[in-house]
Every structure is written in structure tokens, then in C-alpha cells.
């Protein structure tokens, strides 16, 4: 039973207590997503010294600062680039990237598709709150149609990105999506992503209550979090990305999975083969 498993998990074990309380606004869904990640790591018995969390800029990017592990808070959009280098150099580490929707899809969009293409052993958590919260509420690539932001005062007229379809098309080994409201399911999804040998892209549908919610009159944080499930496709856990993005209906769960070779292993094997060949030549 899920509830009994929860009894053994104390989130404080993975938090930098001196940094708490965190800087997120009241009711921000990112805190719940952080709990899901830490819970998944706890269930995998993750050694904190063997965990590296890399994050970019933004509200989501700030989360790495609260995790008691090896953390890197890097430049805007480049979290995946730093993480790729880290994962290649230190195969013994479990590397997790926490990124926001703007960080991951706009500024770091190129890094995302190439990380998917390489299929490096990384887990990328994209916390999607549909807005640039930290800089004052500008439109982001995932802002839903007609939503108000500080840069779309008449309503957003741009089409939005389906990040999961993008990642799957770019070749990510594991693609999934879940809402923060379903915390145990989100934890299971992140756990499956962490265990996947290859690039795992997980989109977490979070809420920006203070900026996006207020601007669009979406109600209190409690109302926003309870509304998350209303747009979900009833048959969750479908193995498909051919699904319309918000606001109609939303596919959640594991959306794509493939077993392409992991880049780091393939690269090291190739390097070893070349080295061995060179030694044979030199030995003669």
C-alpha cells in the first residue's frame, strides 16, 4: 500500500535544513514536485554522495539549492549541457536535471533535443507552470491559449509546445507526464524514469499560483491543485504521445519508452575499442 510506504519517508533526510523554508511562493506546486523527486530517490536508496542535481535558472532551477546532495545551479537553459558533461565524465553518479518550462523549452530548447537525441543516462524533470514566474510572469512556450501574462495582456495567441511529444520525437528513451496532485503516481513515474537506462524526460504539471493564477483569476492554490485532474484523460497511463495538449485532454503516465543504446556506455565502449586497437598497433 502506498500510504504505508510513505511512513518510512521523511523528506528532511534529503533537505538542506539550514536553507528552509524555501523561497517558493505560498502554494507553489514546485514544492510538491520536489517532494516527489526526493521520495523516489529515497525509495531507490539513493546515496546522497552519488547524486548530482543540476538546474538552470528560474523558480524550478532554484530547487537544487534545497537538496542535500551534489548540486549545480548553472546558467539559464544550460542545465542539460552541464549535466551531459557530468554524466559522461562521472558514470558512477546519478544525474538529475531540474528545469522549468522556459528554461528547458525556450532558452535551453536546443540542449533538450540534443540530450534526447544522444540518449545519455540522465533524468530531466521539467516543471511546467506555463509561465516565467521568477522574472515577473512573461509568456512561456507552454502557456495555454488565451491565457494572460505580463507580455500577453490580451491573451496568449501563440500555440503551445507539447514537451512530451517533442522529447519523444527527438528520441528520448523514457517520456512521462504527471500532475503534482497525484503525488504517489508522480513519485512512481519519477522512480521509473530514474531507473531507466537512458535519457528520461518527465514533465510535471505544476501550478504558479501567485503570478499566473492571480493574473488569470484561477483561484486559490488549493483550487488550482484540485483543478489539475479535471483536464486529464480518464485512461491515464497510455503509451502514446499522440495526444492533444492542454486544455482539452491530457495524457499522463508513461508516454513513450524505447531501449536505444545509452550514449555514455556506447561512447566508452567505442573509446576502449579504439584505445585497444591503438595499443595493439603500438605494441607491434
Partner 1 sequence: MSGPKTSRSSLEGEKNRPAAAAAAAREPMNVLIVGVGGQGVIMVSKALAWLAQSKGFEVKQSEVHGMAKRGGSVFSHVRFGAQVFSPTIPQGEADILVALEWAEGLRWLPYLKAESGIFICDTKRIVPPFACLNRRPGAPLRYSRETPAEVKAHVAEGYAVDATAMAERLGNERAANVVLIGALSSALEFSAAEWEKAISAFVPKKTVAVNLEAFRLGRAWIDEARTESPQAEASPEPRLPGAEAPVQVRLEITRAWCKSCDICVKVCPERCLRLDAERIAELTDPAKCTGCRLCEFLCPDFAIRVHREASPERDGARA
Of residues 71, 143, 149, 180, which one binds partner 1 by CB under 8 A?
180
When asked if residue 58 is in the footprint of partner 1 (CB under 8 A), the reply is no
Euclidean distance between CA atoms 189 and 211, whole angstroms: 28
When asked if residue 154 is in the footprint of partner 1 (CB under 8 A), the reply is no
Region of 15-23, 81-89, 165-173, 231-239 interacting with partner 1 (CB under 8 A): 15-23
When asked if residue 202 is in the footprint of partner 1 (CB under 8 A), the reply is no
Q: In terms of Cα–Cα distance, which of 22, 24, 27 is closest to 224?
A: 27
When asked if residue 273 is in the footprint of partner 1 (CB under 8 A), the reply is no
When asked if residue 22 is in the footprint of partner 1 (CB under 8 A), the reply is yes
Hey, which residues between 228 and 267 contact partner 1 (CB under 8 A)? none
**Sign for the pseudo-dihedral over CA of 186, 187, 192, 193:** positive
The cell 501550478 sits on which residue? Answer: 207
Residues 6 or more apart whose CB falls under 8 angstroms from that of 217 comprise: none
When asked if residue 32 is in the footprint of partner 1 (CB under 8 A), the reply is yes
Between 19 and 273, whose beta carbon lies closer to partner 1? 19
21 cis-preceded (ω within 30 degrees of 0) = yes
The cell 530547487 sits on which residue? Answer: 63
When asked if residue 190 is in the footprint of partner 1 (CB under 8 A), the reply is no
Helices (H) and strands (E) in the chain, counts: 10, 9
Helix H or strand E encompassing 30: helix 30-43
When asked if residue 1 is in the footprint of partner 1 (CB under 8 A), the reply is yes
Contact 25, 66 (CB under 8 A): no
Region of 6-14, 97-105, 237-245, 269-277 interacting with partner 1 (CB under 8 A): 6-14
197 class by beta-carbon count within 10 Å (0-12 exposed, 13-18 middle, 19+ buried) = middle
By CB under 8 A, the count of residues binding partner 1 is 32
When asked if residue 226 is in the footprint of partner 1 (CB under 8 A), the reply is yes
When asked if residue 143 is in the footprint of partner 1 (CB under 8 A), the reply is no
Between 63 and 124, whose beta carbon lies closer to partner 1? 63
Is the backbone of residue 62 left (phi > 0), alpha (psi -120 to 50) or beta? alpha
Of residues 8, 18, 21, 234, which one binds partner 1 by CB under 8 A?
21
Q: In terms of Cα–Cα distance, which of 23, 107, 26 is closest to 65?
A: 23
Between 31 and 264, whose beta carbon lies closer to partner 1? 31
Chain positions contacting partner 1, by CB under 8 A: 1, 3, 6-7, 10-12, 15, 20-22, 24-32, 35, 180-181, 183-184, 209, 220-223, 225-226
Amino acid at each position: 500500500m502506498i500510504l504505508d510506504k510513505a511512513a518510512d519517508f521523511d523528506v528532511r533526510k534529503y533537505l538542506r535544513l539550514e536553507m528552509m523554508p524555501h523561497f517558493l511562493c505560498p502554494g507553489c506546486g514546485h514544492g510538491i514536485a520536489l517532494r516527489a523527486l526526493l521520495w523516489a530517490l529515497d525509495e531507490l536508496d539513493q546515496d546522497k554522495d552519488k547524486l548530482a542535481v543540476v538546474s538552470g535558472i528560474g523558480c524550478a532551477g532554484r530547487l537544487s539549492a534545497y537538496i542535500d546532495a551534489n548540486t549545480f545551479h548553472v546558467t539559464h537553459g544550460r542545465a542539460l549541457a552541464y549535466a551531459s558533461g557530468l554524466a559522461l565524465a562521472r558514470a558512477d553518479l546519478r544525474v538529475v536535471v531540474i528545469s522549468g518550462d522556459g528554461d528547458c523549452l525556450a532558452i535551453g530548447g536546443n540542449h533538450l533535443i540534443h540530450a534526447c537525441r544522444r540518449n545519455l543516462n540522465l533524468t530531466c524533470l521539467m516543471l511546467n507552470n506555463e509561465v516565467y514566474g521568477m522574472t515577473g510572469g512573461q509568456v512561456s512556450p507552454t502557456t495555454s491559449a488565451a491565457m494572460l501574462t505580463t507580455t500577453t495582456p490580451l491573451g496568449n495567441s501563440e500555440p503551445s509546445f507539447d514537451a512530451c511529444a517533442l522529447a519523444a520525437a527527438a528520441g528520448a528513451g523514457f517520456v512521462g507526464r504527471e500532475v503534482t496532485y497525484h503525488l504517489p503516481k508522480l513519485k512512481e513515474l519519477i522512480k521509473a524514469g530514474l531507473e531507466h537506462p537512458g535519457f528520461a524526460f518527465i514533465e510535471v504539471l505544476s501550478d504558479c499560483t501567485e503570478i499566473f493564477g492571480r493574473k488569470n483569476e484561477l483561484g486559490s492554490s488549493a483550487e488550482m491543485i484540485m483543478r489539475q485532474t479535471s483536464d486529464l484523460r480518464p485512461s491515464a497511463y497510455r503509451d502514446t504521445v499522440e495526444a492533444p495538449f492542454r486544455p482539452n485532454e491530457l495524457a499522463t503516465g508513461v508516454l513513450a519508452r524505447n531501449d536505444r543504446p545509452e550514449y555514455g556506455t556506447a561512447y566508452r565502449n567505442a573509446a576502449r575499442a579504439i584505445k585497444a586497437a591503438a595499443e595493439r598497433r603500438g605494441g607491434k
